[in-house]
Structure 1
Amino acid sequence: MRIPIELRTDDVTAAAATLTEYFGGAASGNDPFPSNRYTGASFDSWDSTGTRVADADRFTADDFVAIGMLSVNAGPRAARILLRDEAAEFSDLLQAIGDDRDLGDVDEVIDDSWPAWKLEARLRSVPGIGLTIASKLIARKRPKLYPIWDDVVTGVMGTRKAHLVPIHEALRDGSGLRERLRAARAEAELPDVISELRVLDVVAWMEGKRSKSAQR
């Protein structure tokens, strides 16, 4: 896995500036980020009903709105399946994952028998849901545990063919990546609702977007 440029050294000033550019400063109200920044800044905190914590083990309409802020749309058929027709099955799959926890703290082997991976596979069997949308839906429910798969991000990190396991290994290899992610989050004065994985995701995504702009 290639670490994003701004996270390769212990000087996280540039990474923190990138996070501030993406999320903006604190704002009043339920959403801690201003609306004039990237719409994705609200993905992590969107909670129009005030029931996100209580709904940790079931998909909701708010989750579909939130992934829309990251420029994807699962469509009405997927919504009907996840929110009504097969909601109980997906709730069971979420419960099997357990509580949210940092991926870097996971010490078990991660393979296709891992509960969160099983959920990804089941989601991808739903019409309208591919790898990107599946990962964003799981990241809504377990933001500390599951990284978002995205063409831009995986292009930067070289993880298009394998994303989850390389990130898990990089967080646990003693290279200091986790410490830099936390330091960048702290320097940008972001709340803990922004997970280590989301910091990595945003810094990589912004690097990829800048690279594409420079090539035009």
Structure 2
Amino acid sequence: MTETAPDYQFAHHTLDRFVYGDLRQAAVINVGRYFNTDLYPGARFERLDGGGDRPEVAHQFTASDIMAVRCLGTDVKPVAAIAILEMHGNRLSALLRRIPHTPLHDAPKSEIDGSSAAGTLASMLISDDFPHLGRMTATKLMARKRPHLLPTYDIVVARVLGKPRDITHCLHGWFHADPERAKTLAAMRDEIGGISDISLLRILDSAIWMHGMESTVH
């Protein structure tokens, strides 16, 4: 069992509301609408061009990955795209080869900490070598390559969850504190239907994002 870090308590409580509590039924409806209609380009994030984690491209960033990030409403500046695809492509690929495809709820913390390949890649992507990229865009690029291990993050999700400082560690702690959470989230995915190919992390992210957007509208 993993203890909940004090600064993640609010986020973990809120996550439970989507999976077990008062927000669950709305989450089922919202996630179904997000993925099973043509209203949201972000629904194509994991699916675009066969997915960013398929074997033949799993260890390199491609133009399709850049486009997938744009499906989430995030622009990648040309100078950053060139750095990702060409100038530093080999360095990025070397790190991607060391990042496993293990689902976050099964992964040891050592696979996501700062000294891991994932942590090193995250730091690299927000360095000066990749101008105008930013931390949240970096999470989306990494989630495209390892959708079951690494979550996306944006300002809407951050607001709903109380702005946890590290979304990957926050979700890792939440999953590992209670293994039933992953099982219940998987059951929610089955209940929605038509999205068996979508990662649990993306199901959770879209539920939170849809709730956050509705709260903004209302």
TM class, shorter-length: 0.7 to 0.9
Residue 66 (structure 1) aligned to one of 29, 50, 68? 68
Per-residue Cα deviation, 1:20-45 (whole angstroms, up to 9, x for no partner): 11111xxxxxxxxx5x3201011110
- State the TM-score, normalized to the length of structure 1: 0.86
Structure 2 CA distance for aligned equivalents of residues 48 and 192 of structure 1 = 14
Is 2:94 the partner of 1:92?
Answer: yes
**1:65-214 → structure 2 map (5 Å cutoff):** 65-98=67-100, 100-109=101-110, 110-125=112-127, 126-174=130-178, 176-214=180-218
- Contiguous gaps of at least 5 residues in structure 2: 1-10
Cα contact 2:18–2:207 (8 A) shared by 1: yes
Per-residue Cα deviation, 1:7-65 (whole angstroms, up to 9, x for no partner): 233995432211111111xxxxxxxxx5x320101111000799943100000000011
Per-residue Cα deviation, 1:146-189 (whole angstroms, up to 9, x for no partner): 01121111211124423211110101111632122111111111
Amino acid at match of 2:31: L
- Over aligned residues, Cα RMSD in angstroms? 2.2
The 3 A distance-change label for structure 1 pair 50 and 96 is closer
Structure 2 CA distance for aligned equivalents of residues 49 and 7 of structure 1 = 26
Is 2:28 the partner of 1:16?
Answer: yes
Structure 1 CA distance for aligned equivalents of residues 158 and 179 of structure 2 = 20
The 3 A distance-change label for structure 1 pair 210 and 50 is closer
Cα contact 2:52–2:145 (8 A) shared by 1: no
* Count of residues in correspondence between the two structures: 203
Between the two proteins, what is the percent identity of the paired residues? 33
Higher helix share: 2
The 3 A distance-change label for structure 1 pair 145 and 49 is closer
Cα contact 1:132–1:150 (8 A) shared by 2: yes
The Cα of 1:86 is off from its aligned counterpart by 1.2
